[in-house]
Amino acid sequence: MTRCIYVQRVIFEVLKLLSKEIIESIKSKLNIVDVISEYVVLQRVGKNFRGLCPFHSEKTPSFYVSREKGLYHCFGCGASGDVIKFVQEIEGITFIDAVKKLADRAGIKLPEISSSRNEYYAKYVKLYTKLANIYHKNIFKQNELLNYLMNIRKIELSIIRKFKIGFCPPNSKSAYFEAKNLGVANSELRKFGLVNSKGVDFHNNRLVFPVYNDKGSVVAFGSRVVPNTITDLPKYINTPETPFFSKSKEFFCSTNAFDIAKEANFIILVEGYFDVLSLNVCGFENTVAPMGTSLSNDQIKKISKITKNVILFFDSDDAGKKATINIIPKVEENNLNIAIVNSREFKDASEILQRKNQEHLKKYIESAIGYEEFLVEEFSKSLNINNPASVEAFLEKIQPFALRMLEKRPVRYENLIKIINSKLGIRETISRTLRTVQLKTLRLQYQFLYIFCDALKFFFAEIQKHL
């Protein structure tokens, strides 16, 4: 509701900024082929240009760009539009931000939006920043909490300062008093997600973790109940949705995490706040956590613009494993390379640092395995290779992942087959048969079926030998 009210507030200004004449002027001054060529390798085909579609995975180019019409169209997934739509989709940004970006490129000065929008955002950020500093100062007055962070969680002081970890006291009304100083109305505090229905700070009596946006500004808080506190409230909570914060778009990380990930050419994706902090202690500053266990399309797009290499390090409990398995197809669909850290006897990165040390945690990162190996390991936990029904259940679980690999990642698919062969004890003669099947001109959905059937035939034959 708050976000809708805000949109209504600025929509008139947006329409004033983006007149039809301005939009057409931007498009006429830009060569759509030049713009798209910065993202896609294009080749001339007659009057048009063709390349691999950036919006879905394909081997045969079906993405066409017409310089004459100023349009693009993919015959594979149906994506189409003009240069503004392309930049909006490929960058994962709003329409107005795409217009601003292309206007700068075209050398066109846009009319200024009324300062009310900027002032509203400035107040929001200023208030969050002020509270983040207050909460951060509070942590140094709490010896028990500092002991918990530094001696139990093993979070170094430099990391506590870097992330501005804080403490919001019980029944605190810091948000109310700071809002008053800044001229922010009480009604705005609820919209900003800073107070509860009683006017008390939303994150009171909690450890507080500031959440930064792409500009390095504090736009939200995550928080954890104080250790050893008896409460019915959730252990972890986030700031509610606000005009400038959506948990499906942001990550918990340091302000320079994505810059470091770009330089290192890989990013580590973890589940919780303390996992991020623990890996930062070990020097892995390119670690980020989604605001939950799922990963949205906006978050995946944000990662894909930085690097194509992702290490997934979610919790080792059932919920964490399920989240990892659910994320793999999403990440794979965006042509990202995936490796998995399987912490096995430890719940997560934070627990490894707590119970062991930095070197031990580093070794887990270095021992990340391919996702095909992870899938076989997970799906074969209840496998009984002497039971055909058990083998069938195992292959059925892994089949959809295998089909995607066969279509998009043939090298990964080959490795998957080798791992399955090894796990099931299939002989080399059977392995050759499986590889031969891949070369047959059958429909994609039947290819893995042949592998499945050959494996079962082999097992039935082996069982009959011992009857």
Report residue 243 as tokens.
């005009």
49-94 pLDDT per residue, tens: 999 998 887 888 999 999 999 999 999 888 889 999 999 888 877 7
Q: What's the CA angle centered on 12, arms 10 and 14, to 5 degrees?
A: 70
Task: Please give the average per-residue pLDDT across 379-404, as a whole number.
Answer: 85
Q: How much is the pLDDT for 6?
A: 47
How much is the average pLDDT of 174-188? 90
CA 132 vs CA 210, 278, 458, 466: distances in Å? 6, 21, 64, 70
| Contact between 139 and 160 (Cβ < 8 Å) | yes
Residue 438 has pLDDT above 50, yes or no: no
CB 365 within 8 A of CB 348: no
- pLDDT value for 363: 93
Q: What band does 10 get if pLDDT is binned at 50, 70 and 90? A: very low
**Phi/psi at 370 (5° precision):** -65, 150
Alpha carbons 323 and 456: distance in angstroms, whole number = 30
pLDDT one-digit tens code per residue, 337-355: 999 998 888 999 999 999 9
Predicted pLDDT of residue 291: 86
Cβ count within 10 A of residue 213:
16
Contact assessment for residue 295 and residue 331, using Cβ atoms and an 8 Å cutoff: yes
- We find that the CATH architecture of domain 2-106 is Alpha-Beta Complex (3.90)
* 256 contacts 287 by C-beta, under 8 angstroms: no
Mean pLDDT of the chain: 85
Say which CATH topology domain 251-367 has.
Answer: Dna Topoisomerase Vi A Subunit; Chain: A, domain 2 (3.40.1360)
pLDDT greater than 60 at residue 458: no
| Number of C-beta neighbours around residue 196 at 10 A | 14
Q: What is the pLDDT of residues 116-158, one digit of tens each?
A: 567 888 889 999 999 999 999 999 999 999 999 999 999 999 9
Per-residue confidence (pLDDT) for residue 214, from 0 to 100: 85
How does 139-160 read in b/e, with b if 16+ C-beta sit within 10 Å?
A: beebeebbebbeeebbbeeebb
Is the confidence at residue 419, as pLDDT, over 50? yes
- Rounded to an integer, the average pLDDT of 88-101 is 82
**Is 300:345 a contact under the CB 8 Å cutoff?**
no
**Is the CB of residue 294 less than 8 Å from the CB of residue 323?**
yes
Domain 119-238, what fold? DNA primase DNAg catalytic core, N-terminal domain (3.90.980)
Please, which pLDDT band fits residue 215 given cuts at 50, 70 and 90? confident
Q: What is the pLDDT of residue 322?
A: 92
302-321 pLDDT, tens digit per residue, is 898 889 999 999 999 999 99
pTM (2 d.p.): 0.75
Between CA 377 and CA 270 the distance in angstroms is: 20
CA pair distance 42, 67, nearest whole angstrom: 12
CA-CA distance, 241 to 3, in Å (whole number)?
8
